[in-house]
Structure 1
């Protein structure tokens, strides 16, 4: 019996057509893109209205998609999500973290060029995604792109210039695919510790912001932002192992912010950086209440803090979730 696959088409370059203003999403993709694989799998399409360029992604989109997937996952053998590349890694992280106790594979793919464009990577990416859903029942969320399967957590878009649009600097690829040899496993899936199955809910009013530290005025600007009190959670992309200037005004602003219950997650701005208590230079920030993000990247951090605000997590619960995801090996300082 053929597997039944639910296809959630959200938009993105893969199905775009040229318009007077440039490329824009189009529904025509649903009529032909997966037809060559009809003998292998049964596909049921759900086309979002409206389709979006993924750079227009909102938390409301995420809420809507989660509700759909929570309903459809029990009815199908797997899920294929067609998504724009700009924010695909963010959405992959959301699905991985919000669909707790997932028992079916969820595969996200897209392309750098529209499906019908000359030399498009879209047919190759679709073929690989279909082949993975046909042969692999591992209950995880992953990105399939340029012949590789990446775990959702830790993945990022790394290029707009080549077909190799994604990578996972910390955890690498799980498998590699060619049209002639099919899929070959190269690493074991990094599944989080088991939890009771449930759908985590999102609050569209959750306010998460990100600040990247650079030499100079950045710490003063960040201190002013923290004291404004508008954001419920803040990501700080610090240096190396989580190091930051021990500027008194900045550290005191962090202390005031976390003292009011604000969540501040410290992650490294290095693509393969790990925030940990290694250097004394980072100790003041840790002591002021920042949660050390370990191997957490920006996409994972954004989703974690959105969920944290939606569900009322404390800094301690945030640290526990980082450990459950195996992003930190020991309790963060």
Structure 2
């Protein structure tokens, strides 16, 4: 029988009702006690590394999770990370870059209702996660939620209250779990070699979400204070005319300072392609801009945090960004 380590980080699944609202209060051991059926699936041990609302999750907390996995990697056959749903997609993406080439599954899960409630999705999500983590074919970082298995770099929370909170963006579900049975849609190539663990995640990456009528001065502030500005544009990606002059001035000003602008899109599905319209084609050409194509925003941000943490130069960072990790990017035109 497989031996799985359950890592507690807090979140709704471990929350208790207080006068101020729901707040994480159950330990990983407490949470596990609500699914006695797990004894028929695998042997489980628990480790509490955090106990916080996932709204408060930061890269420093990701390092704690990665450290727990690395220190225990040789002792267990897989890992289940219990996490709040609000930033779960960011954490799963971050773990995909911070723990690479893992032949052992690292499953991230949570729930929309606390596990202590009479009506909750927590028990099913958690038991399904152990079923998936204990399967011989499971590997790398993934999310198990509402009976679906999502690649760690492809998830987005699209519903605030419903049990089917997460969707897989621009990529099929890896599998579904029905009545305790895993139905795999994608046959994965088995991971070979040893895993790599990374801890440096840069805080010099920021996000600018464009909206009609935005003042150009915001660009100056962001380029002054950050190394990489991810621009979440409209449609397939472009720059509004009102921002263009300032954008060109800032790119020229910082061209020798190892600063980058990266284009992504506010549209969830189908990705960016800056070469389609004049508003994107020109700046793509003039600055050889990186764009995210079919990547999720969560994967784009966390991948850039990881790459900047590696202190890669412009060209090396560009090459590494367009190198697929845990299925994060299918389409790319360097």
The alpha-carbon deviation at position 21 of structure 1 amounts to: 1.1
Provide the residue aligned with 2:44 in structure 1.
43
SS in 2 for 1:135: coil
Is the Cα–Cα contact under 8 Å of residues 293 and 332 in structure 2 kept in the other structure? no
- Unaligned regions of 5+ residues in structure 2, if any? none
Cα distance in 2 for partners of 1:233, 1:190 equals: 33
SS in 2 for 1:316: helix
1:8 aligns with 2:4: no
Is the Cα–Cα contact under 8 Å of residues 14 and 112 in structure 1 kept in the other structure? yes
1:213 aligns with 2:210: yes
**TM-score, reference length from structure 2:** 0.90
The alpha-carbon deviation at position 237 of structure 1 amounts to: 0.6
The alpha-carbon deviation at position 282 of structure 1 amounts to: 0.7
1:202 aligns with 2:200: yes
Provide the residue aligned with 1:77 in structure 2.
77
Provide the residue aligned with 1:293 in structure 2.
292
Is the Cα–Cα contact under 8 Å of residues 16 and 23 in structure 1 kept in the other structure? yes
Query: How many pairs were matched up?
Result: 325
The alpha-carbon deviation at position 251 of structure 1 amounts to: 2.7
Is the Cα–Cα contact under 8 Å of residues 12 and 111 in structure 2 kept in the other structure? yes
Q: Which moved more, 1:69-78 or 1:87-96?
A: 69-78
1:238 aligns with 2:233: yes
Report runs of 4+ in structure 1 exceeding 6 Å deviation.
none
- Unaligned regions of 5+ residues in structure 1, if any? none
- How do residues 1-333 of structure 1 correspond to structure 2 at under 5 angstroms? 2-28=1-27, 30-31=29-30, 32-48=33-49, 50-179=50-179, 182-189=181-188, 197-203=195-201, 206-218=203-215, 220-227=216-223, 229-246=224-241, 247-276=244-273, 277-286=275-284, 287-325=286-324, 327=329, 329-332=331-334
SS in 2 for 1:24: strand
Tell me the C-alpha RMSD between the 2 structures.
2.3
Q: Aligned in 2, Cα 1:265/1:191: closer, same or farther, shift over 3 Å?
A: farther
The alpha-carbon deviation at position 19 of structure 1 amounts to: 1.0
